[in-house]
Amino acid sequence: MTWAIGDLQGCFSSFIKLLEKIEFNSSSDTIWLVGDLVNRGEDSLRTLEYIYSNKDRFKIVLGNHDISLIAAYYGIKKSNPTIDPILKSKNAQVLIEWLKSQPFLYIDKKLGYCMAHSGMSPLFDINLATKWNNLLQNRLMDKDVSSWLNTVSKNKSSSLKYDDDELYALASFTRMRYCFDDGALELEEKNGSSNDSSLKPWFQIENRKYIPYKIIFGHWSTLGFYKDKNVVAIDTGCVWGGKLTAFCLETQEVKSVFCKD
């Protein structure tokens, strides 16, 4: 079976409890992780080490907190007590290099699903999304990655238009929730519903480009679990004391565990 699991954010005990609930078989099952593997939860190092030790069974996309961890490793961003153990670990370089090699977009044509941490810009068709994923992956793997991370980390814009190019693409994969009708991103609103009538969830933009796969995403804990014919949202706020949720791609089954991390 193939299960997609929402934002972990270092909640290792909840993660293991959910894997037990779905009866995860490490020899046959595949787990999709929507990003934000680390930060805020109390066991970010154990979470990352467990995923790395079973990496052949996991498909991962990068989230904004994963990018922040990589930036902290290069001294671009400040660390914090929940990711300090990763940066101080004897395996830090191995874990960070592995994390840097992960995509922003994952596609399984056979299953008919794709995955990105916060979703896919309504301006992107699958070819354009793939192009930007490849470019951003190359940036992370480049020898001058620290310079690139320094540039993107300085961006504090509350909104972005597509002419911002790389910044827009990165934000659309890792930070997006709401958009304006022209596809511009609004990056500050976090509620599950907005009082601003000019804003819509990115997946409800009327002229959103056609994507031939159902999109699985996380990042939006206040939205919670949401499913329609085009998307499946699975961040149910584990690190905030909510639930950690798994969605089976083959059967549409949903299983959750309550979180105490």
pLDDT in tens, 76-102: 999 999 999 999 999 999 999 999 999
CB 226 within 8 A of CB 233: yes
Instruction: Tell me which H or E stretch contains 245.
Output: strand 243-248
Domain enclosing residue 184, as ranges: 2-258
- In the predicted model, what is the mean pLDDT of residues 157-175? 92
Percent of the chain with pLDDT over 70: 99
Distance CA 31, CA 13 (A): 17
Among 235, 212, 257, 240, residue whose Cα is nearest residue 4:
235
Among 60, 49, 47, residue whose Cα is nearest residue 8:
47
- Rounded to 10 deg, the angle between the 92-100 and 44-53 helix axes is 70
What pLDDT, on the 0 to 100 scale, is given for residue 155? 81
pLDDT above 60: residue 261: no
pLDDT-derived band of residue 197, with 50, 70 and 90 as boundaries? confident
pLDDT above 90: residue 51: yes
Q: What is the domain-level CATH number for residue 150?
A: 3.60.21.10
Distance CA 240, CA 9 (A): 10
Rounded to the nearest angstrom, the gap between the alpha carbon of residue 111 and the centroid of all alpha carbons in its chain is 19
* pLDDT, tens only, 133-153: 999 999 999 999 999 999 999
Number of domains in the chain: 1
The pLDDT mean for the chain works out to 95
In this prediction the pTM is 0.96
pLDDT above 90: residue 195: no
